[in-house]
Amino acid sequence: MSSKGPTLTINSKTLLGETTPDGFNRTKRKYARLFLWLTSLLLLTSHPLLSLVTSTCAVYTMHGGTWFSHKNFKWMTASIISFCISLYSLTLSVESNFVDEERAYELKAVLEMKHRAAEMIWGGILLLCLGLTVKEQIDGVVARSGSMVVEKNKKQT
């Protein structure tokens, strides 16, 4: 007697990357959102180098997913924009550190204002998008639990 455990079938489409296992893209989006949460918090607290690292991780996480999925496209776009904003902010921050405050105070102030504005605006937008995603997940759980209660009440009557 031989016991058969779970089997994994691999065909040529799987090897060529034409199909993906169940939950593959969902897992990539979950990790990308985690990196984007960190990116938004780091942008809001003015840590452009660390936000550049976390947004790079988000882009790298999403690059292997399905490109023609609207969900993947949305989070890949957010990751790329976060990377660009973080790089822009880091560049302006470093440039403002090289400016002499006594000779070019206005230039230094403008550079600092631009990098903080970019960080605050994109960090806030990103935080809003991520917060709405959490709200959608909560609404889905509430709807499913509400339908379970209705079904349970129907069975009892």
pTM: 0.76
Task: Considering only residues 9 and 23, tell me which one the structure prediction assigns the higher pLDDT.
Answer: 23
User: DSSP label at 122?
Assistant: H
User: Three-state secondary structure along 14-77?
Assistant: HHHCCCCCCCHHHHHHHHHHHHHHHHHHHHHCCCHHHHHHHHHHHHHHHCCCCCCCHHHHHHHH
Please state, rounded to an integer, the average pLDDT across all residues of the chain.
84
CA-to-CA distance for 51 and 45, rounded, in angstroms? Answer: 10
The pair of structure tokens assigned to 27 is 């897992």
Residue 107 CB neighbour total at 10 angstroms: 14
CA-to-CA distance for 107 and 101, rounded, in angstroms? Answer: 9
**pLDDT of 156 above 50:** yes
Residues 82-136: pLDDT tens digits? 999 999 999 999 999 898 888 888 998 999 999 999 999 999 999 999 999 988 8
